[in-house]
Structure 1
Amino acid sequence: MRISRVLKFGLPAALLALVALPAAAQSFSVQCPTSTPLHPAKGGAAGAIKCQHISGGDGFATMGDGTQTYLFAFGPLSGLDRIAKGLPGTQDAVSFNREYDAAKAPNAAIKDPQLIMGTGVLNGNFPAPLMAIDEDDEFFLTLSNVGMIMRPDLFEQHTVHFHGYPNASSYFDGVPDASVAINIAGSFTYYYNAPDAGTYFWHCHITPPEHLQMGMVGQLYVRPRQNRVPVGQSLYQALMKANQAVSLSTAAASQAGACGDLLCTGQTPLPAADTSAKQPAAGITYAYNDGDGSTRYDVEYPIQMMGFDPDFHFVGMTFNAESFAGLKDKYFMLNGRSYPDTVAAGPMETQSSDGKSRQSQPMPATITINKTAGQTRALLRISDLSVSEHTTLATIGVPMTVIAQNARLLRDMAGNNLYYNTNSVTLGGGESMDVLLDVSNIPAGTYFLYSTNLDHLSNDAENFGGMMTEIRVL
């Protein structure tokens, strides 16, 4: 039987009044330039300008046993239609800057202050909206703090911190001691360059253990320059030129574009041998700048491991002090869902305290590899977003090839690939792994991706659930 612990509080009048304030009384401001010195309006530089708009507020999510759980949460204020389909909400500048229209332009940014409040209040997503950019992009990310309407006693600030992201400017790093924090009814636009491919995650850096446990955490990934190698050209030669280009001066690199060469960082050592791998066709995608085609994939799935302590969340909604010492997750999830919800199609909705149902967990967790459509390799971008648990994630019948850890390709300085095959990976909070599933010789059928930690396979007091999903080979 499904139970609900949510208390049906009325909406605080003070914050409801804020929704109706005229634009002049608020300080929301959304930024997304159409050109920059690195990316002038008429091209010439690699990469592109990408933008995204998110809210900082609260909401509710539905656990695998039906319990409605209160969240501090980020929500989407751009790319709404993409987010609802489980895709990254990141947009190019042209799409982002269109006039928002729920029917005609559902992915454009919401910029009107009253609509920002009307959309953002109680509309938190778990996990937070997905972000994805390409190397050489400039990324403008606007955070608008709409307030936590279920906790009017808290005048919480919020920030965005890209965890493990390379070369982040301290001003835009989201650590309030060294940068800025965003007040209620205010906005701030973060600016990032995209230098290194890999899987990262992001979170609020205000009292991090509390805000992460309460739900303010999501995934970010950066796609490699190698995806732009022209058809028929050698991946090895492109990577070799990239390593040579590292010695270019800043002026020379600027003259050549955003980078001195297509793969200009030189972060990845050359493969031990030239395998003569070439870019076979347009649209082929890679996880990293590998130079040998070994990280090619046909379909990708972000897999975000996380957990909730229901008592901590309940106390967090009821104006009492949380017990950090007693924190113990009892709901374990993939992409914000516990089994059997992990195999449900489409976005999940949860009824909020105002009686309105909102999309709370839009990202599906089912892994589908369609061999009849030519798909044989799936990339799993696995992140552990927990603040309290290590977790082992395993497969049955479909071996995993681990190609990268913590956004670094597994390759030694001599160019030897250190990828390894396994049926399980173990991650702690803040870690990521990139894993390939190759089903070329795997029969069609349903397989499982699941935690081997037995207590992670339950939905609080209900057995058989938790951190488990299906791998469907068609």
Structure 2
Amino acid sequence: MINNTFLQRGIKKLLLAACAMTIILAIPLSSAAAEPTTIKKFQLYATDGYMTLPDGVQLYIWGYSLTNEPGSATFPAPALEVNEGDQVEIILTNIGPKKSGIKRLAHTIHFHGLDTDQQNDGVPHTSPAIQVGGSFKYQFKAKHAGTFFYHCHVDTIEHLQMGMYGAFIVKAKNGINQAWTGGPSFDKDYVFLLNEIDPVWHQAVEEGKPYDRTNFHPKYWTINGKAYPDSEKDPTSYIDGEVGETVLIRLINSGYEPHSFHMHGYHFQIIASDGRPLPEPVTKDTVLIGPGERYDLLVTFDQSGMFPFHSHNIVDNTNNGAYPGGLHTMIDVKENTPDSSPMLMTIRLKEGRNAVMVNGESMRLPNSPVVLNGTTYIPARFIGEMLGAEVKWLPKEKSIIYTTDKTTIQLWLNSSQSKVNGRLVSLFAPPKEIKGTTMVPLRFIADQLGAKLSKDSKTGEIIFTGAMSVASAPSHQSHTDGTSSGEANGNGGTGSMDQPTSTDPLTVIITTSFMPAKLTIKKGQTVKWVNKDTQIHTVYDLQDKFNSPNILPNAEFSYTFAETGTYTYYCSTHPSMVGEVIVTD
């Protein structure tokens, strides 16, 4: 009996211990299972198109597009951005070329530097390529924050040169501004995707003619698809900041040549290579980046000024032999002066209610906020103008663009893809047209424009708080303007801005060239040169009849022509810039 009782007690203790252990083990298991997984979805289309180089040359390209429209390829492909830990789904549909007579080739996506499995590696040697009319969904988890890129791996040497490549950025968990989760912090980051172009290859592909792939002689070099001076006009390829800011520059060499990138004015730290942190940062002012390599550079601006950032392989700084050009851009750092006229906007709004309170003043919306599947939608123009953004509607693309001095956001109706400062970002909820008004997800726009959201538990109102400049504050009238899907606001094009011109027939505008390059005048007339470039230029006559001092940006120089003849002049700092004045009686 004693032994049986002892045995029974022992069994009971073991059962209790087992139950306790089950409870203890169940807690972390259930907690881990409950942790949500964010899925980032993208849709890309493989097709062809054209790009324009700084000297006006048009180039036939292949690439990836955001729209299901043959001929809409972009150069380079849209930059994709996700966060560490995201599950990524990218559907590639091969819609084929628009141009007739072009071979209808297969395409893939290889995610360069990401350790995907064989099925999602995009290499036709090991998995089927996507034929015209076909689609494939690439699926993988973004395990490591870092700098990567993607490209077609079908006949790689040709397809990559033709333009089938783009940046792929994995940010730290939750998208915070750290180089990697727990790594160095930064205020903002830039992606510089480098490549070079041999127009002979592109022309041969366009005309369906054979060419020698061992005979590769690039004539153009690009940063994010832009060669200087166009790189200075592209906010993704031109660095601006303030003294005291820290900037992360992600260098990606997607081309076939090495480049030696040099920074004026500052030293930077190389903190990561090929998507992985370095054991210790390396302080340099020049970095040699080979084909396929990526480097993350961290720089803190300790002085104001404008400084070049360019390749020190000097030929890389030309456009078809003309200097300056190619892999050259600028770093523009201003003194950190606080905005003297900030305006705090506090907005209270509620689902189903047209009236909103803006800083205590009642206003009416063209359409009341609505909640769809847990997402609050608000009229597109109202939310942008409240934060001082310029708002444009592009009717052909059914797209809305918000522009501030630091941020550009583009969204498309019914699309879960958006562009933020040139990078493709996945949306949880797409913009929609509701009762004739374009409505956008409130939280996404608020987050991107630096506003904060909270909720009044008593009234059920959403409280929206953000800062904007008084100078950019919209009028009360604009608060009531809706952005209907049929609206065109006078600037529906997406092309580059026109070059400045002069209505004065005796004025020459200086940018990266003299415009007009040839001018015919009468004896005794005065010609004025006005510098509209960001660089300093001069006007030097080839026969030394007249020479200007340095003409600073927005400054001018004048000369009166007292004798007839043909005068050829140039910029002594940029001698490839040449102009001519013909003087008649």
TM range (shorter): 0.5 to 0.7
Query: Matched residue pairs, number?
Result: 303
Residue in 1 that maps onto 2:157: 209
Residue in 2 that maps onto 1:68: 58
Instruction: Tell me, yes or no, if the aligned pair for 1:395 and 1:448 is still in contact at 8 Å.
Output: yes
Provide the secondary structure at the position in 2 that maps to 1:410. Answer: strand
Instruction: Tell me, yes or no, if the aligned pair for 1:49 and 1:139 is still in contact at 8 Å.
Output: yes
How much identity, in percent, do the aligned residues show? 30
Q: Within the alignment, does 1:370 sit opposite 2:262 as a pair?
A: no
Q: Within the alignment, does 1:200 sit opposite 2:89 as a pair?
A: no
Instruction: Tell me, yes or no, if the aligned pair for 1:47 and 1:135 is still in contact at 8 Å.
Output: no
Matches within 5 A, 1:339-418: 339-345=228-234, 364-371=236-243, 376-387=245-256, 389-411=257-279, 418=280
Instruction: Tell me, yes or no, if the aligned pair for 1:151 and 1:319 is still in contact at 8 Å.
Output: no
Structure 2 distance, partners of 1:214, 1:157, is: 14
Residue in 2 that maps onto 1:222: 170
Structure 2 distance, partners of 1:63, 1:399, is: 31
Residue in 1 that maps onto 2:108: 159
Structure 2 distance, partners of 1:55, 1:322, is: 27
Provide the secondary structure at the position in 2 that maps to 1:317. Answer: helix
Instruction: Tell me, yes or no, if the aligned pair for 1:174 and 1:181 is still in contact at 8 Å.
Output: yes
Instruction: Tell me, yes or no, if the aligned pair for 1:47 and 1:134 is still in contact at 8 Å.
Output: no
Structure 1 distance, partners of 2:293, 2:75, is: 19
Residue in 2 that maps onto 1:321: 210
Q: Deviations over 1:344-366 (max 9, x none)?
A: 146xxxxxxxxxxxxxxxxx311
Bigger relative CO (Cα 8 Å, ≥ 6 apart): 1
Structure 2 distance, partners of 1:310, 1:136, is: 40
Residue in 2 that maps onto 1:24: none
Quote how far apart the aligned CAs of 1:165 are. 0.9
Provide the secondary structure at the position in 2 that maps to 1:446. Answer: strand
Code of the residue aligned with 1:425 in structure 2: it is V
Matches within 5 A, 1:6-155: 44-77=34-67, 116=68, 120-155=69-104
Structure 2 distance, partners of 1:462, 1:330, is: 10
2:180 corresponds to which of 282, 285, 288? 288
Q: Deviations over 1:99-119 (max 9, x none)?
A: xxxxxxxxxxxxxxxxx2xxx
Residue in 2 that maps onto 1:431: 293
Provide the secondary structure at the position in 1 that maps to 2:140. Answer: strand
Structure 2 distance, partners of 1:316, 1:400, is: 40
Instruction: Tell me, yes or no, if the aligned pair for 2:262 and 2:285 is still in contact at 8 Å.
Output: yes
Q: Deviations over 1:131-186 (max 9, x none)?
A: 111111111101111111225341201100001212x1111110012112111122
Q: Deviations over 1:17-54 (max 9, x none)?
A: xxxxxxxxxxxxxxxxxxxxxxxxxx932541101111
Residue in 1 that maps onto 2:544: none
Structure 2 distance, partners of 1:318, 1:284, is: 47
Structure 2 distance, partners of 1:46, 1:381, is: 29
Cα gap change, 1:377 to 1:464, in 2 (>3 Å): same
Residue in 1 that maps onto 2:345: none
Code of the residue aligned with 2:35 in structure 1: it is A
Larger radius of gyration: 2
Instruction: Tell me, yes or no, if the aligned pair for 2:46 and 2:63 is still in contact at 8 Å.
Output: yes
Instruction: Tell me, yes or no, if the aligned pair for 1:137 and 1:193 is still in contact at 8 Å.
Output: yes
Quote how far apart the aligned CAs of 1:284 are. 5.0
Could you tell me the TM-score, scaled by structure 2's length? 0.50
Structure 2 distance, partners of 1:422, 1:472, is: 20
Q: Within the alignment, does 1:180 sit opposite 2:166 as a pair?
A: no
Provide the secondary structure at the position in 1 that maps to 2:56. Answer: coil
Q: Within the alignment, does 1:191 sit opposite 2:83 as a pair?
A: no
Provide the secondary structure at the position in 1 that maps to 2:144. Answer: coil
Provide the secondary structure at the position in 2 that maps to 1:473. Answer: strand
Q: Which runs of 5+ in 1 are unaligned?
A: 1-42, 78-115, 229-282, 347-363, 412-417
Residue in 2 that maps onto 1:422: 284
Structure 1 distance, partners of 2:129, 2:61, is: 20
Structure 2 distance, partners of 1:151, 1:302, is: 34
Residue in 2 that maps onto 1:446: 306
Structure 1 distance, partners of 2:212, 2:172, is: 42
Structure 2 distance, partners of 1:177, 1:155, is: 19
Matches within 5 A, 1:225-236: 225=173, 228=174
Code of the residue aligned with 1:370 in structure 2: it is E
Q: Deviations over 1:199-258 (max 9, x none)?
A: 111100100000001110111011123xx5xxxxxxxxxxxxxxxxxxxxxxxxxxxxxx
Q: Deviations over 1:361-396 (max 9, x none)?
A: xxx31111134xxx6111111100102x11111110
Instruction: Tell me, yes or no, if the aligned pair for 2:94 and 2:107 is still in contact at 8 Å.
Output: yes
Structure 2 distance, partners of 1:69, 1:381, is: 27
Provide the secondary structure at the position in 1 that maps to 2:307. Answer: strand
Code of the residue aligned with 1:182 in structure 2: it is I
Structure 2 distance, partners of 1:308, 1:284, is: 35
Q: Within the alignment, does 1:469 sit opposite 2:329 as a pair?
A: yes
Structure 2 distance, partners of 1:153, 1:317, is: 7
Structure 2 distance, partners of 1:186, 1:179, is: 14
Q: Deviations over 1:262-299 (max 9, x none)?
A: xxxxxxxxxxxxxxxxxxxxx85101134xx5x21000
Q: Which runs of 5+ in 2 are unaligned?
A: 1-32, 335-585
Structure 2 distance, partners of 1:431, 1:317, is: 29
Instruction: Tell me, yes or no, if the aligned pair for 1:73 and 1:124 is still in contact at 8 Å.
Output: yes
Residue in 2 that maps onto 1:21: none
For the aligned residue pairs, the C-alpha RMSD in angstroms reads 1.8
Code of the residue aligned with 1:197 in structure 2: it is A
Structure 2 distance, partners of 1:428, 1:284, is: 29
Structure 2 distance, partners of 1:66, 1:379, is: 32
Provide the secondary structure at the position in 2 that maps to 1:286. Answer: coil
Structure 2 distance, partners of 1:456, 1:310, is: 15
Structure 2 distance, partners of 1:458, 1:47, is: 47
Q: Deviations over 1:44-71 (max 9, x none)?
A: 3254110111110111111121211110
Structure 2 distance, partners of 1:154, 1:196, is: 38
Instruction: Tell me, yes or no, if the aligned pair for 1:446 and 1:470 is still in contact at 8 Å.
Output: yes
Structure 2 distance, partners of 1:171, 1:151, is: 32
Quote how far apart the aligned CAs of 1:307 are. 0.4
Residue in 2 that maps onto 1:456: 316
Higher strand share: 2
